[in-house]
Amino acid sequence: MKVVVTGGAGFIGAHLTRALLAAGAEVVVIDDLSTGAVSNLASLPVKLVRGSVTDREVVEEACTGADSIVHLAARPSVERSLLDPMATHAVNATGTLTVLDVAQRAETHVVVVSSSSVYGAGGTLPRPEDGPCRPLSPYAASKLAAEGYALSYQGAFGLPVLAVRLFNVFGPYQSAGHAYAAVVPTFIEAALAGRPLTVHGDGRQTRDFTYVASVAEMLCDAARRRLSHPDPVNIAFGTRTDLLTVIGELERILGRSLTVRHDAPRSGDVRDSQAATATMRALFPDATGITLGEALEATVAWYAERGVSAPADPPVRT
């Protein structure tokens, strides 16, 4: 089967592409390389179409004859969205609409990748998919809009769609050393370089950290089975870990104490996050995770082998 991965040169896309190839799929990647890197796809037998998902001609070219599309392409980062909400909306909402419209005309299955940030503040833990969504940033709002478009195309046109909400995914190929890096690679990069780890707030904010290999396997499975569902689906294992615990695990792995510097909390950040997992486990009964310690060990080893600035192609910030 032919699968198109938008944002396939990015961190999660690089893992998904490898999982799809291992499963025997033909893979086409769409990526404008604003946050992805060609090096992430080095030596892989994939077709790379350079361009944005906001460009309909690019999407149509790549998706011709596709059986499934996994739509990962996005303008990431809460912080970036606060600086330029319109640019975030253009890629995350309008870009998703472009992908869906091309897919609908071609009758192609789509997995739309959203974010746990749509839940925002309040509500119960763990977060059930039918619970309230109160986005705290333009990024979160754009992801909620993307979900809405996906499910509307399923309802209005019968397009087979699966909208998934990811929770703090981390692992190899995740970029570090730039202003919009996620917390785990930021901590690892600082720790390996011998710099203080900056914690925004008290460090007791919690996340449902999810190892990227587990996410890639579920996305691969969804594409291969052309899986659809009438509602969004959380993709995480229902854990809840605070940032100070993550730092403690890194100290254990590295065998030394780390200096921590506390800074002011960041606007738009959610205090606590944890996924309800019943729907995911029903749809992906064979999905398995690994412990946070094991996942961090594998991730630290990957960065240490490549140097603290890996991957080699830094994301372009605009």
Q: Which two tokens stand for residue 196?
A: 């203080």
Other beta carbons within 10 Å of 261? 10
- The long-range contacts involving 252-261, CB below 8 angstroms and separated by at least 24 positions, are 252/293, 253/293, 253/296, 253/297, 253/300, 254/191, 254/300, 258/191, 258/196, 258/197, 259/195, 259/196, 259/197, 260/196, 260/197, 260/199, 260/203, 261/196, 261/197, 261/198, 261/199
119 is catalytic: no
The closest of 66, 101, 106, 76 to 7, measured between CA atoms, is: 76
Amino acid letter, 127: R
CB 197 within 8 A of CB 190: yes
Q: Which amino acid is present at 201?
A: G
Angle of helix 292-306 versus helix 183-193 axis, rounded to 10 = 50
Residue 289 β-bridge partners: none
User: Which of the residues 119, 139, 211, 303 is marked catalytic?
Assistant: 139
Residue appearing with tokens 């996410």: 215
The residues, any chain, with a CB within 8 Å of residue 43's CB and separated by 6 or more, are none
195-210: burial string, b at 16+ Cβ within 10 Å, e else: eebebeeeeebbbbbb
Task: Give the C-alpha separation, 63 to 69, whole Å.
Answer: 8
Catalytically active residues are 139
